[in-house]
Structures are given as structure tokens and as C-alpha cells.
Amino acid sequence: MYLRITAQGARAEDLGGLLGKLPARFVVRQPPSARLRLIVEASQPGSITFTLLAYPEPASEWPNEPEKLDILDYVLTRVEALSPLFRSFLDSAFGAALRPLAREELLRTRFDLQAEIAPLAVNFRNPRLKGYFEPLGYRVEVESPIFGLDAVLLRVAGVQTVPDVLRHMFVLVPAVDRAKSPPLTRAEASRLGEVCQPWLGKHPKREAIARSYRLRLATLLNRDILATP
């Protein structure tokens, strides 16, 4: 699974300098059976492309003999193993690292951004793919199938800050993914509520997004948590 972000605009290439500060501040908790890599793919005046790559360890339960391995079943298993971990990948790689840099002007600058993520365990015709992202100002493209699987490549583009596109992905991608994670703990729900602020409160699909997490909207927005003594 990968998330690729391209930013275009004045000083976009300077984002590479901020990414260069991240490794010392990374809090990358290696997710079970996966590894993370952050790669700057291209950088030139007015443009930068960087990718967060999450790849699984080999699945030990599969046979070593190539003739006994059904590659489509293997790939599908790996997709479904990674998909529910996406939020932890993103939060581990960027969440703790971006907060100390929040005052940097570039992180508050809106760029022409394109974000691409694949593969997602989502049906190609799922209407939520556009319904969740378009109200935030994105143009949405979906490509499917990937490797002949019931999975998609999702591409969104719009004028956004880098932290905002990460927050939107953090919340909305798991909300559309059919490979559901276990119910959120109280701490996880509180963290999710922080990332939802303030944009989710005005989202026309906010109730459906909350239900996808098996939460009431008030809980997702931290209102219940803040009201609890």
C-alpha cells in the first residue's frame, strides 16, 4: 500500500526540507507484519512528490513452492491485511512528526495537491468515494480493478495544505474501506476526534462517517469525551 502526494506551487520544493527534518522525530511503531518507508520521488522548483510506502512482511502461512501459490489469493490477503492498518501508518509516520513543525509557514500554505492511494479494499462503484471527498473541495478519480481484485486506486486533487490532506485521508480512507478495523478504544476515538476538527462538523456526510466507525457523531467530534468529568 502506498500514499503518494504531489504538491505544486511557489516554494513547493521547500517541503523537502521539512521532510528532511522528520526522521529524527518519527514515531514509527512498526505495525504488525509491515514496514514503512518515506521516499521523496521528485523535487524541482515549484513541485515535489513524496510517497509513504507500507509493505507487508512475507506471509509465513503460504507455501514456499511456487506451483502451490495462488498469487491472486496471496495479493488479496496482503491488501486486506494492510488496509485496516492504514490509519496507524499515517499517524505513526506524520502525526507526531508534523506537530512540532506546525508553525512552519509551508505547512499552512495551500498548494495544488494531488494524493493517490492504492490498493484500497473498496468496491469501484462505492458512492462514498466521491461523496466523502468532493465536499472538501477535491476532484476524485477511481481506477479499478487492481490485479483483478475488488480493490481500487483512489486519486484526489484540490487546493489544500499538506496537513489537511493528511487529516482528510486519515479519517476518510478507513471510513470507506471494507476491511474494517476493530472498534476504536477511547484513546483512539479521542485522537480521531482531534484530527476531525474543525472540518468534519460541517461535512454533509458527517453522520455516515461517524457510523462507519461505529460511533455517534458527538463521540467522534469529542463532544462526549469533553463533557465527561
- Delineate the domains of the chain, giving CATH numbers in brackets: 2-178 (3.30.1610.20), 182-229 (no CATH)
Average pLDDT of every residue of the chain: 77
- Alpha carbons 46 and 29: distance in angstroms, whole number: 33
Label residue 203 by pLDDT band (50, 70, 90): very high
Please enumerate in sequence order all residues whose Cβ is within 8 A of that of 195, keeping only pairs 6 or more positions apart, or say none: 95, 167, 170, 171
The pLDDT value given to residue 131: 95
pTM (2 d.p.): 0.81
The pLDDT value given to residue 145: 65
Q: At what angle do helices 162-176 and 186-196 cross, to 10 degrees?
A: 130
For the beta carbon of residue 51, count every other beta carbon within 10 angstroms. 15
Q: Express each pLDDT in 153-169 by its tens digit.
A: 899 999 999 888 988 98
Please enumerate in sequence order all residues whose Cβ is within 8 A of that of 128, keeping only pairs 6 or more positions apart, or say none: 175, 176, 205, 208
For the beta carbon of residue 177, count every other beta carbon within 10 angstroms. 20
